[in-house]
Structure 1
Amino acid sequence: MSGRGVIGVSSGHTAVEGTTSSGIAIYGGVDAGARGRGVVGVSGSRTAIEGNSTSGDAVYGVSKSGIGVHGKGGHLGGYFEGNVQITGDLSIQGVSIQAWLQRIITLEKLIDNLLTRLQILNEKNQTPPKKNRGASCIMDYDPEAPPSDAVVGVKVHGGGFYADKVVTVMQVARPQNGQDSQFANTKADSSGGYLVRRSVLKNFPKQPVELYAIGSMSGITSNTAGMNI
Structure 2
Amino acid sequence: MLEHADGSVTLRQWVDVVRRARLGRTPKAVALMLATYADNDGRHVFPGVARLAVDCELTYNVVQTALQRLRQAGLIDVVRKASRPGQADEYRLILAADVLDRIDVLTPGQHAGTASELAARRRGRYRPAAPSRPAEPAQPLPPTAWGADHDGRCDLHTGAWGAGHSPSYRPGPHGGGPSVPPAPHGDRHLHPTVTGTCTPRRHHPPSTDRTTPPTIPPLMLFVRTSR
More strand by share: 1
TM-score by length of 2: 0.18
What TM-score, normalized to structure 1? 0.18
